[in-house]
Amino acid sequence: MRRTSVKRTMVLVAAATLALLTACSGGGVPLTAGSTAPSSGPAAASGGAAKDTIVNVIAGTGQFNENLNPLVQGAPNLLGTWGMIYETLMFFNQSKSGDVQPLLATKYEFGDEGKSITFTLRDGVKWSDGKPFTAEDVAFNFLYRRDKKDLNAGGSNTKDAQVLSPTQVKISFTEKMYTKLWDVAGHQYMVPKHIWEKIDKPTKETNAKPVGTGPFMMGEFTPQSYTMVKNPNHWDTGKPKIAGMRFWSYNNNDASLQAMVTGQLDWGGMFMADPDKQFVAKDPEHNAYKNESQLYVTNLVPNLTKAPMNDLAVRQAINLGLDRDKIIELAFAGFGKPASPAGIVLPLFQDYLSPKYATAKLEFNQDKARQTLEAAGYAKDGDGYYAKDGKRLSVTCHLVSGWTDYVSAAQVIRQQLKEVGIEFKSKEVSFNAFVDMQQKGDFQLMMWNAYGGPHPYYMYDNILNSKSIPPANQNMARYKNPAVDAALKVIADTPPEQTDAIKQAIYAIQDAVVADLPYIPLQQSSALAEFRTANVTGWPSEQNPYALGLPFSHPDNGIVAKNLQPVQ
């Protein structure tokens, strides 16, 4: 069976347990904080009145750990901690370019040539325990993260935080922050000073009784099921309209898929080879899905410090030898789409694509691939593979064991490159071993994803900046190009309103990506979000992409959940 998109986006959400968010009607089951969850599954909670509508959430497999710590990004905390209980200052909608929405902050202003940001906060916001949310809380959050070394082992760029008024706070930094607003305002979840100032070791805190500003609060917890209930103090008047959410554990992904397609659940994020047949056809009136295809690019990642992948001719030959249409069709069920040679997510960032590459496509030309190798001094051996200096051109690509769509892709690639004269081998390893190889650079080639953000700078900086080589970030290829580093610095140091200067720097990066081929794109990947409208409506759609529809993406999950409308 093909692995789910839940596994594919594991690093994107930085959580050990990922999930599928779902909805059904509540059948008189109380959802007040501290209520007792029923012992049966979601189907037992159906058939109630609209005002009792709840959302059932598949939050993983196995037993839950009662961890609701929002400060540790890699923590295996409960789904809903980020976005539903705790909120950020602003919301960056990755479904729509340039869509930045106010949350706890209504306004921001750069100062000190980009080295400070002053936030104006929303009036009247309260924590779920009824105490006011103020600028003191925001200042505390930044200083707490700065001063607690276990929260910033790599160091902090926060210099100071000054309270200017109850609703205004100025955060100062050691570097220009024009390109880091998303990190500051979109990734840092606010916690209350009056609770966390008493916690000396935040990474050890499980936070079983969380107090946040989000639309939901923690209810009852058991190792098999837990609830989150409507926050009556939530600042967004009239929201949420549902009574709460119920989170469940299934034995395995097959059981989750079965629950989804049989109508027990109404919000999922599962990979299906044929969602029209497997899901929509089961209830065409109520079942639908959205293909979130603007999040990341799946690449063959060459280790540029190891032979033969440090040879540009080899990378070019592999690139030319791949029939992406067949790979997408045979391995990815046709849901991906061809990637841009410039390594940019389209059409989301069409405005940032160099005119030089406006119509450029990844070329499939196996004759040209062979010519490229021969021009670089390679000659075929008796088995039909190219060799140089007595050594066969053979590459080994590492994959995560059980990620069956990637395994299938490797099988297709093996045959395609054999026709070119390149021996392609694949090797499956555990996820932990795979991550260890990424960090140490102990590989020739691997199949992995390049993730984006609300601006093309984020992906480029993440995978191309020489400062992003592991363990610093995700430059798994170990790519080093001073011209690219310089262009990234220009973008980082340029005020966002100076779009022409930023675009010229981005165009320079795209020239280097095309010329150097530091990553070999396979597809612009997709993730499926499945919805049911039998009990609730208001899901994101192609026509109204107000947030990502993926249930495990945060803070989008909180935005979606509080905008759901019970069916009357």
Break the chain down into helix, strand, coil percent, rounded to 5: 30, 25, 45
> What is the percent of the chain where pLDDT is above 70?
89
CB 527 within 8 A of CB 478: no
CB 185 within 8 A of CB 89: yes
Backbone φ, ψ for residue 466 (5° rounding): -60, -25
CB 361 within 8 A of CB 339: no
Does the pLDDT value for residue 134 go beyond 50? yes
pLDDT: which is higher, 457 or 34: 457
Per the DSSP assignment, residues forming a β-bridge with 168 are 120, 165
Which of 79-88, 114-123, 139-148, 266-275 has the lowest average pLDDT? Answer: 266-275
Does the pLDDT value for residue 310 go beyond 70? yes
Average pLDDT, the chain: 87
Range list for CATH 3.40.190.10 in the chain: 5-84+214-286+533-566
Does the pLDDT value for residue 41 go beyond 50? no
The pLDDT assigned to 51 comes to 55
Helices (H), ranges, 262-365: 275-278, 312-321, 324-331
Which of the given ranges, 377-391, 440-454, 502-516, has the highest pLDDT on average? 502-516
Does the pLDDT value for residue 59 go beyond 70? no
CB 301 within 8 A of CB 444: no
Does the pLDDT value for residue 21 go beyond 60? no
The pLDDT assigned to 141 comes to 97
Q: Which residues contact 344 (CB under 8 A, 6 or more apart)?
A: 352, 353, 456, 459, 510
pLDDT: which is higher, 238 or 552: 238
Under the banding of pLDDT at 50, 70 and 90, the label for residue 437 is: very high
Q: 528: phi > 0 → left, psi -120 to 50 → alpha, else beta; which?
A: beta
Neighbouring CB atoms inside 10 A of 309's CB total: 22
CB 554 within 8 A of CB 57: no
Mean pLDDT of 36-47: 36
CA–centroid distance for 358 within its chain: 26
Does the pLDDT value for residue 446 go beyond 80? yes
Mean pLDDT of 298-320: 98
The pLDDT assigned to 49 comes to 41
Which of 184-193, 406-415, 505-514, 527-536 has the lowest average pLDDT? Answer: 527-536
Torsion angle of C-alpha atoms 354, 355, 361, 362, degrees rounded to 10 = -40
How many angstroms separate the CA atoms of 524 and 545, rounded? 19
Range list for CATH 3.90.76.10 in the chain: 90-196
CA-CA-CA-CA torsion sign (487, 489, 494, 495): positive
Under the banding of pLDDT at 50, 70 and 90, the label for residue 58 is: low
Give 215's DSSP letter.
S
Name the 3-class secondary structure at 386: strand
Per the DSSP assignment, residues forming a β-bridge with 530 are 268, 289
CB 547 within 8 A of CB 560: yes
Mean pLDDT of 28-39: 33
Closest C-alpha among 357, 339, 292 to residue 503:
357
Mean pLDDT of 231-249: 91
Q: What is the CATH number of domain 294-525?
A: 3.10.105.10
Closest C-alpha among 189, 218, 267 to residue 21:
267
pLDDT: which is higher, 198 or 294: 198
> What is the percent of the chain where pLDDT is above 90?
67
Does the pLDDT value for residue 108 go beyond 90? yes
Does the pLDDT value for residue 213 go beyond 60? yes
The pLDDT assigned to 55 comes to 65
For 199, half-sphere exposure in the C-beta direction (CA atoms, 13 angstrom radius) is: 22
How many angstroms separate the CA atoms of 125 and 462, rounded? 34
How many angstroms separate the CA atoms of 293 and 346, rounded? 9
- CATH 3.40.1190.10 for the 90-196 domain, yes or no: no
Which whole-number Å values give the CA distances from 43 to 23, 39, 218, 477, in the listed order?
A: 10, 11, 22, 47
Does the pLDDT value for residue 156 go beyond 70? yes
Which amino acid type is present at position 121?
A: L
Range list for CATH 3.10.105.10 in the chain: 294-525
C-alpha angle with apex 484: 479 to 489, nearest 5 degrees? 120
CA–centroid distance for 39 within its chain: 32
Which of 1-5, 19-23, 273-277, 555-559 has the lowest average pLDDT? Answer: 19-23
How many angstroms separate the CA atoms of 39 and 42, rounded? 10
Closest C-alpha among 432, 402, 489, 494 to residue 113:
494
How many angstroms separate the CA atoms of 345 and 455, rounded? 10
Does the pLDDT value for residue 48 go beyond 50? no
> Cis ω on the peptide bond leading into residue 166 (within 30° of 0)?
no
CB 104 within 8 A of CB 135: no
Helices (H), ranges, 395-472: 404-420, 431-440, 456-464
Element (H, E) at 87: none
Does the pLDDT value for residue 10 go beyond 80? no
Which of 15-24, 32-41, 217-226, 380-389 has the lowest average pLDDT? Answer: 15-24
For 317, half-sphere exposure in the C-beta direction (CA atoms, 13 angstrom radius) is: 31
Mean pLDDT of 349-366: 96
CB 314 within 8 A of CB 459: no
Architecture of domain 5-84+214-286+533-566 in CATH? 3-Layer(aba) Sandwich (3.40)
CB 215 within 8 A of CB 236: yes
How many angstroms separate the CA atoms of 137 and 142, rounded? 9
The pLDDT assigned to 50 comes to 44
Per the DSSP assignment, residues forming a β-bridge with 116 are 111, 172
Under the banding of pLDDT at 50, 70 and 90, the label for residue 294 is: confident
Cα Rg for the chain, rounded, in angstroms? 24
Mean pLDDT of 356-363: 96
Does the pLDDT value for residue 274 go beyond 70? yes
Which amino acid type is present at position 33?
A: A
Q: Which residues contact 198 (CB under 8 A, 6 or more apart)?
A: none
